[in-house]
Amino acid sequence: MRTVLLLGSLVSVVVTVAEADVPPSQASPLSQVLSKLEQQGLTPIVEAAFDDGVWEIETFRKNKPIEVHVNPQTLAIISEHPDFHHQKLSIKDLAASQIARQIEQAGYQPILEMDYEHGQWEVETLHAGSERELTIEASTGKILSDRADD
């Protein structure tokens, strides 16, 4: 009987942690967060992840890699610090906000994470209540693959 109770407690902890990494319902869509940062000159954006209640965004300011933390409701930058070298988008690639907007318009919401690598975006999102992992062509926004996120 103790084993069952302990297992139940562990499952409860895992579910709570997973839910903590989903933006709250009153949060702005990721496309709006990214668009605001791009308008402020933080480009290109190469990674975005919702973690510990904030958006962690890897981008560039004046060609120097930085990471900013953004409030998901007010879109205010909470903190900023230098970051490691990131791979930049190709000149032909769409902006991160455009990719996010296309994904959201296709019904994948909320976006949990986006990561640019080698001309493609790897995106973790929710769709119809299940976690999905998408591979997106960076130059067109075309969904190359859609699979369950394990």
Beta partners for 135? 122, 145
- Model confidence at 129, in pLDDT bands (50, 70, 90)? confident
Count of C-beta atoms within a 10 Å radius of residue 108 = 21
Tokens representing 121 are: 């975006």
Residues 60-80 pLDDT 10s:
999 999 999 999 999 999 999
Residues 97-110 pLDDT 10s:
999 999 999 999 99
